[in-house]
Amino acid sequence: QVQLVGSGGGLVQAGGSLRLSCTASGRTLSIYRLGWFRQAPGKEREFVASIRWSIDSTAYADSVKGRFTISKDIAKNTVSLQMNNLKPEDTAVYSCTAEVIVSVGSNIRNWGQGTQVTVSS
């Protein structure tokens, strides 16, 4: 199991920036990938961004490409999401998640608590 504690988020005007951070503890050596999903009211949870823990590989949802940047600090077991040029449609609860290797070919997903991001127009 990996425990995840997120921070950041809040209220910002459209065009502004926010930074989310997530710190992992527990079986951090077994982390395969860290990232964020988000869920807006009345909508399904959707993928935002992810980063591989052992190599430099990132992935982004099309809706955030060019505006959001995910990064990692392995020494601090922390992953961050820099969100620039925020839009009202980015308003959602953002949740940090870790894919954890439990055995060869088998991963599980651990979740941190969600944090609210609200973008006003």
11-40 pLDDT, tens digit each: 999 999 999 999 999 998 899 999 999 999
Query: What is the predicted pLDDT for the residue at 105?
Result: 85
Whether the CB-CB separation of 85 and 15 falls below 8 Å is answered with: yes
Tell me the per-residue pLDDT of 71-111, one tens digit each, with 9 for 90 and over.
Answer: 999 999 999 999 999 999 999 999 999 999 988 888 899 99
The DSSP letter of residue 104 is T
Give 3's pLDDT tier (boundaries 50, 70, 90).
very high
Residue 41: CB partners within 8 Å, gap ≥ 6? none
**pLDDT over 90 (residue 50):** yes
Per-residue burial over 25-57, b if 16 or more Cβ lie within 10 Å, else e, is eeebebbbbbbbbbeeeeeeeeebbbbbbeeee
User: Nearest to residue 89, comparing CAs of 50, 51, 38, 20?
Assistant: 38
Q: Are strands 78-83 and 18-26 parallel, antiparallel or unpaired?
A: antiparallel
